[in-house]
Amino acid sequence: MGNCNSCSTGCSDTAPNRTALVQIGGVYDYVVALAGNPNTGKSTVFNYLTGLHQHTGNWPGKTVARAEGFFTQADTRYKLIDLPGTYSLMTRSVDEEIARDFILFGRPDCTVVVCDATVLERSLHLVLQIMEITNRVVVCANLIDEANRKMIALEARALEAELGVPVVPTSARRGHGMDHLLQHIHEVATGAALPQPRRARLDDEIESAIGLLVPQLLQMIPNLPCPRWVAMRLLAGDERMEQALRSGELAEFSKDPAQELVLV
Amino acid sequence: MTLRLSELHPGQTGHVLRLDTEGSLRQRLLDLGLVPGTAIEQIMHSPIGDPICYRVRGAMIALRQQDARNIQITI
């Protein structure tokens, strides 16, 4: 229960690899999304990986729209999307909506969640939410140098076992741990490693409600990504999700993930 | 003992019992980690007493009195 294997579409594990889709700005084999709380050094990670100079600064809400860059790892070409910093994917703000829509409909081959290692507990909330949508997650525990200075040690292997996804301590500013991060991104995106996220265990009542909703959603929108998650949002009374379902927006977004990538 | 978060004294720590709010504020508080059982410490308040600063899960957050009043805690 609570595992994506139970949902008939298998979420983004079945996402088609958008091999060699020609795009303005470059050719790539896989798409990687960069998510995370505001002010965790997400843009620094982005700049390190892409060699770009996206403006970084010490205030939240800085990455207003989506930035894109490219990098190569082990002869594989990657497109990296820097999503706006958010605490949640529950869509109260435009930023959260951009992040959620991309992770859900863009079906990235890997989603890196950048966390602040000095207040890791706070970031784990978003990690869990993203793990509900996709299996292909890598946790980047950034600012590990600052955490160490504050006498905080991170047991990455233990956290990895708890979460079921790779956890990589990094200091993007100093370039520490970044090779390790690249390696994990490569393994997850290419499918060489398939993380098995541990998901929240829900009440039987909620599970049975999800079980009723999922087939109906799939009947309405056969290509719907992660219907289990959409069902959970509907049950939680997410008005925007309900509206998106009624208006056909959800169906439109679900049509062609590759096209969506171009449009967003 | 159950009280409202707004009744916490500086330096005092309580544990979240229940959020008596709805809609987006409730979601926001949950997103900030104020789920039942979470330890929350009052750090200080602004000179006029509002907003109040709390420590939650290693992060400092500021809440309005009126919002803190709707959070039930145990000490």
The DSSP secondary structure of chain B, one letter per residue, reads -EEEGGGPPTT-EEEEEEE---HHHHHHHHHTT--TT-EEEEEEE-TTS-SEEEEETTEEEEE-HHHHTTEEEE-
Residue, of A256 and B67, whose pLDDT is higher = B67
For residue A186, the SS3 value is helix
pLDDT in 10s for each residue of chain A, 264 residues: 344 444 443 344 333 333 333 344 567 899 999 999 988 999 899 999 988 766 554 444 444 555 788 899 988 999 998 888 888 887 677 778 888 888 988 889 999 999 999 989 888 989 999 999 999 999 999 999 999 999 999 999 999 999 999 999 999 999 999 999 999 999 999 999 999 999 888 889 999 999 999 999 999 998 888 899 999 989 988 888 888 889 888 888 887 554 444 333
Tell if the CB–CB gap between A88 and B27 is shorter than 8 Å.
Answer: yes
Please identify among residues 7-66 of chain B the ones whose CB lies closer than 8 Å to any CB of chain A: 24, 27-28, 31-33, 56-59
| Contact with chain B for residue A255, Cβ under 8 A | no
Domains identified in chain A and CATH numbers: 15-190 (3.40.50.300), 204-263 (no CATH)
Task: End-to-end CA distance of chain A: give it in Å, rounded.
Answer: 33
The DSSP secondary structure of A114-183, one letter per residue, reads EEEGGGHHHHHHHHHHHHHH-S-EEEEEE-HHHHHHTT----HHHHHHHHSS-EEE-BTTTTBTHHHHHH
| Contact with chain B for residue A128, Cβ under 8 A | no
Cα(B67)–Cα(A221) distance, rounded to whole angstroms?
40
Tell if the CB–CB gap between B28 and A121 is shorter than 8 Å.
Answer: no
| Closest CA of chain B from A88, distance in Å | 6
Cα(A100)–Cα(A94) distance, rounded to whole angstroms?
10
Structural domain for B65, as ranges: 2-74
| Tally of domains in chain B | 1
Q: Which of B29, B31, B54 should we substitute to test contact with A (largest number of A Cβ atoms within 10 Å)?
A: B31
Please tell me which residue of chain B has the smallest CA distance to A92: B24
Tallying the residues shown for chain B, one arrives at: 75
Tell if the CB–CB gap between B27 and A122 is shorter than 8 Å.
Answer: no
Check residue A55 and give its pLDDT.
Answer: 56
| Contact with chain B for residue A125, Cβ under 8 A | yes
Check residue A177 and give its pLDDT.
Answer: 95
Tell if the CB–CB gap between B57 and A119 is shorter than 8 Å.
Answer: yes
Which tokens go with B2? Answer: 């159950």
Asked whether the bond before B51 is cis by omega within 30 degrees of 0, the reply is yes
Cα(A177)–Cα(A175) distance, rounded to whole angstroms?
6
* CATH number of the domain within which B38 lies: 2.30.30.90
Residue, of A5 and B53, whose pLDDT is higher = B53
**Short-list B57, B42, B28, B41, CA closest to A115:** B57
